[in-house]
């Protein structure tokens, strides 16, 4: 999810104290932590590790990969010094990236996942019995290899419905036929950061947030298709500006509606992140009764969730007033599938 955010992210595994400096001044933290500093807001948070060596550490063509053990959050996946997920609270982000969009579509047979190399999103998609075909597209095979062996959902890629592609997500879509997928989920890293001069710096994943890419996604979806993507936190001003822009962009390329949903997750900066759920046809979405029926059936078949439940089909889109005003401005917020 997160790539370099503003000035500094760090992973410290030695016994030496660390000094953090940036436009907000100098800060100190103890050793044996995985943490992230947001210079734009002066926010820093970290997780205490056990002090042991990483369970695995490698350098791929694209990034540094670590799996470390924490005292409270279990195993932690860290890419280029940035926490991606933990065993304890990874359910909140990944279940919400998947189940609101999957239940919103009445028959999500063909699904595309862009990013999400840790495999958690994939494992949640596969809980839906309607799924017949999943294309999972990720650049870095090394991340997938690590997660296969170190996380409990690592067998997800063995499911015969899954087709794994090591490729650029935007280029993969160039070859996709029109209307092939019912659902597309984009679990990508941040599209931009800021340097120490306060200048905005575009990151490689920026192409996945471009208007051309969104247009390709809209084209690749069926007439009732739905797109869900990682849309940052509303607690950081530059991210909130991005949310507003990406939502407008989604509607400009042809989505009838785009709604920002909020997720509580303690190990991400500010404890909150969100997603934008973009629908091509609001009236084609599942009714509350259909969502409840399918969820109950999923539970009976042993496919449980620990964060998501059907009430979140609506309540996750209920935002603080100041956030709703910024995102929707003078619009009347459209809610499909009133619960």
Catalytic residue IDs: 187
Asked if 338 contacts 314 with a C-beta cutoff of 8 angstroms, the reply is: yes
Instruction: Decide: residue 289, CB within 10 A, 0-12 exposed, 13-18 middle, 19+ buried.
Output: exposed
* Per-residue CA distances from 17 to 20, 33, 35, 133, 191 (Å): 10, 10, 13, 49, 31
Cα–Cα separations (whole angstroms), residue 325 to 232, 250, 277: 17, 18, 18
Token pair, residue 261, equals: 């949903």
Instruction: List the alpha helices (DSSP H) in 179-328.
Output: 211-220, 237-252, 288-300, 312-315, 321-328
Tokens representing residue 21 in the block: 């400096």
| Alpha-carbon distances of 201 from 3, 5, 191, 193, 219, rounded to whole Å | 12, 10, 9, 5, 29
Distance of alpha carbon 269 from alpha carbon 187, whole angstroms: 17
What radius of gyration, in Å, describes the C-alpha atoms of the chain?
19
Residues 6+ apart with CB under 8 A from 300: none
- The DSSP bridge partners found for residue 82 are 79
C-alpha to C-alpha distance for 339 and 336, rounded to whole angstroms? 9
Whether 261 contacts 96, CB under 8 Å = yes
């Amino acid at each position: 999810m997160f790539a370099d955010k503003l000035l500094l992210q760090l992973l410290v595994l030695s016994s030496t104290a660390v000094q953090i400096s940036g436009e907000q001044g100098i800060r100190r933290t103890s050793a044996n932590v995985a943490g992230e500093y947001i210079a734009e807001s002066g926010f820093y948070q970290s997780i205490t590790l056990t002090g042991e060596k990483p369970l695995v550490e490698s350098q791929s063509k694209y990034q540094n990969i670590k799996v470390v053990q924490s005292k409270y959050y279990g195993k932690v996946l860290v890419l280029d010094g940035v926490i991606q997920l933990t065993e304890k609270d990874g359910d909140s982000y990944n279940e919400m990236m998947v189940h609101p969009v999957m239940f919103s579509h009445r028959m999500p047979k063909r699904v595309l996942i862009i990013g999400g190399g840790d495999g958690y999103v994939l494992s949640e998609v596969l809980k839906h019995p309607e799924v017949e075909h999943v294309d999972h597209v990720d650049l870095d095979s090394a991340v997938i290899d690590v997660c296969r062996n170190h996380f409990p959902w690592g067998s997800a890629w063995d499911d015969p419905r899954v087709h794994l592609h090591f490729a650029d997500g935007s280029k993969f879509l160039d070859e996709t036929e029109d209307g092939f997928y019912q659902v597309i989920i984009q679990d990508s890293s941040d599209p931009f950061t800021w340097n120490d001069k306060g200048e905005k710096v575009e990151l490689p994943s920026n192409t996945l947030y471009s208007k051309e890419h969104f247009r390709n996604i809209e084209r690749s979806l069926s007439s009732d298709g739905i797109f869900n993507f990682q849309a940052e936190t509303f607690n950081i001003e530059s991210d909130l500006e991005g949310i507003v822009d990406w939502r407008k962009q989604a509607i400009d390329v042809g989505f009838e509606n785009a709604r920002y949903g909020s997720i509580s997750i303690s190990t991400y900066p500010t404890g909150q992140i969100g997603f934008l759920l973009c629908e091509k046809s609001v009236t084609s979405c599942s009714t509350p009764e259909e969502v409840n029926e399918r969820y109950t059936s999923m539970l009976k078949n042993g496919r449980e969730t620990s964060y998501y439940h059907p009430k979140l089909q609506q309540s996750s889109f209920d935002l603080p007033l100041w956030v709703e005003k910024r995102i929707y401005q003078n619009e009347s917020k459209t809610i499909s599938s009133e619960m």
